[in-house]
Structures are given as structure tokens and as C-alpha cells.
Structure 1
Amino acid sequence: MREEVVKRLIEEALEENPSLFLIEFEIKGDNQILVVIDGDQGVSVNDCIAVSRKIEHNLDREEEDFSLEVTSAGATSPLQLARQYQKNLGRKLEVKTEEQQFEGNLEAVTEEGITLTWKAREPKPVGKGKVTVKKEAVLTYADIVEAKVKITF
């Protein structure tokens, strides 16, 4: 199975729907093709079918047998691309860096990184009791080891 051919077909399929983008692409030893996509407005079953058909209809099973799986990035999958952060603005994220772990609302997304905000209870500077303060963390993509959308019910 020629990887370049499949990659080109994926790119053509994504060009037909510019809101979709590639997260992962792999061809395993037994010609098992795995494609994971995401989209700025999410991914529908029809989006997966369209990408699957574009690949399948342009490969010759007589020439080489293969299996094909086109899926969307799961709700609990780690975010991998800046474009995925953009579509999750305002949502709660769990973000790990080498040194720390954060849980907060995705407040801003830039080319360099993200801004998380959250509220914390801290002791009052003077006197007894606690006060609620707004906290913020500005993280670069390079610092982020893993980031996931925190799903709440």
C-alpha cells in the first residue's frame, strides 16, 4: 500500500470540505488504513463516509487488498492541533504540563498557545476565612504534554 497515494486522497477529500482536518493517518502492516479526522464544527457520520468513499473508490482492491477505517477524534481524545483548541473555546479543559496540571475554561487561543481561567478559594490576605479569586494560566503549545476537554454532565 503506497502511503503517498492514500495521503493524497485524504487531502483531496478534506479540500472538498475545508472545515474538516486530519488528526492521524496510519497504514498498518496488513494494509489496514486508519484515518482520524476532526472538524471546526465537529464531524458527522456523513463526513466520515465522504472521506472513506474518496479513498476507497480511488484504490484498486484487485491490485492490493486493504481495510479502511475513518473515524472522528473522540470526545475524550487529547487535543493535538491548535485548530482543535480553537473549536473548544469556552469549554473546560484538563491540561498537563511537565510540572503541573490545570483545569480551567479555555479563554483564549493564539498561534503560540492558550489561556485558561478558573476560580479558586484562597485564604484572605488579612483575617480569617477564604475569598474567591480568578486565576489564569498562559501556556504555550510546547509546554502542553496533554490537553483534554473535560466533559461534565
Structure 2
Amino acid sequence: MSTQTQIEQITGIINVLLATEPAFFCVAVNIKPTQNIKIFLDGDEGLPIEKCVYFNRKLYQHISGAGIFPEGEFSLEVSSPGVSEPLKLHRQYVKNIGRNVEVVFTDNTIKEGVLLAVTEQDILIEQTTGKGKKAITQQILIPFTNIKTTTVQIKF
């Protein structure tokens, strides 16, 4: 069975499980050559560790029962994507409205600012350049088609 087929089967299992948990969603499923399955889940209000444990146990049972790995030899990790991972889904953008983001464009130019709004087609960020009285604030509308990656920036 190909890795892509395995990912599709596991994604189907996740979707069935998440149908009863609408506050949570799947961001990505990866399988390493060592049969290590990494599942990234997120939630509209975050993903508590208790939910990671719950989903891990449920998914392990379902994946074992489905015979996706005939020898039964696989490991499973369920976690949230983490702050260093780029946003991939529209739902992640919506969840991060009000936070500082770094947007890398398809031409590799970079803009940083506060994510103000998200539509199906684009995002709106507010960027401030300069300091004090010389500070200039502008709003920038960025179509998703121009975005290579968007990463949440943590400011201390």
C-alpha cells in the first residue's frame, strides 16, 4: 500500500472522529519511512493536551483495527502544529485574527503586521513602520494566491 493511500485512509478515520468534535480540525497527516505517523490537529480555541491524548488513543485503536499497516508496526504522534509552523488552513487564519504574523509572498518579499481580517480570497494586515512620531501605519490586503507562507510571530 502506498504512503499516499495510507494517508488518505488515516485522514478518513480522523474526519469520522472529528465529526463528533466540531471545535477541532485536522491540519496535516505525515508518515515517515519508519512508519511514524504524525498528525497535526488544531482547534478554534486551541488544542488542550487532554484532547491530544484522547485523539491519540482513539486514532491508534482505529488505525490498528483498519489494518493499514499489515505488520501492525507503527507509531503515532498527535499534536498541535506549534507556533513555528506556517498557517495552512483558512480556519487557522481566522483563529489567529489579532495576532502578529509574518507573510512571505510568492516573490519572497516579507511583510509583518497584525492580522485584522480574513476572507475566502485574502487577508488584511496592519503594518506599522518607523517609531514614535514618524510611525506610519497602513493596512495591506493580501490575496491568498500571493502568499507563500504565513507564520504567527510571538512578541515578548
Structure 1 length-normalised TM = 0.84
In structure 1, how many angstroms separate the alpha carbons of the residues matched to 2:30 and 2:134?
A: 50
Corresponding position: 1:19 with 2:28: no
SS in structure 2 opposite 1:148? strand
Match of 2:14 in 1: 10
Instruction: Look up the match of 2:128.
Output: 119
Counterpart position of 1:74:
82
Report the number of matched residues.
Answer: 146
What are the within-5 Å matches in structure 2 for residues 75-94 of structure 1? Answer: 75-94=83-102
Separation in structure 1 between the aligned mates of residue 134 and residue 73 of structure 2, nearest angstrom: 64
> For structure 1, which runs of at least 5 residues remain unmatched after alignment?
123-129
Identity rate, percent: 34
TM-score (norm 2): 0.83
Cα distance, 1:85 vs structure 2: 0.7
Q: Does 1:47 align with 2:51?
A: yes
CA deviation map 1:36-69 (0-9, x unaligned): 1111111111121122112112214885221111
1:125 alignment partner in structure 2:
none
Asked if 2 retains the 8 angstrom alpha-carbon contact of 1:10 and 1:54, the reply is: no
Higher alpha-carbon Rg = 1
Runs of 4+ in 1 over 6 A off after TM superposition: none
Structure 1 residue 25 displacement after superposition: 0.5
Deviates more, 1:88-97 or 1:8-17: 8-17
* Aligned residue in 1 for 2:42: 38
In the alignment, residue 83 of structure 1 is paired with which amino acid? R
- Identify unmatched segments of 5+ residues in structure 2: none
More helix by share: 2
CA contact (8 A) 1:9 1:54 kept: no
- 1:68-113 CA-partner distances (Å, limit 9, x unpaired): 1111110121111111110010111111101521111101110001
Give me the CA root mean square deviation.
2.1
Q: Which has the higher strand share?
A: 1
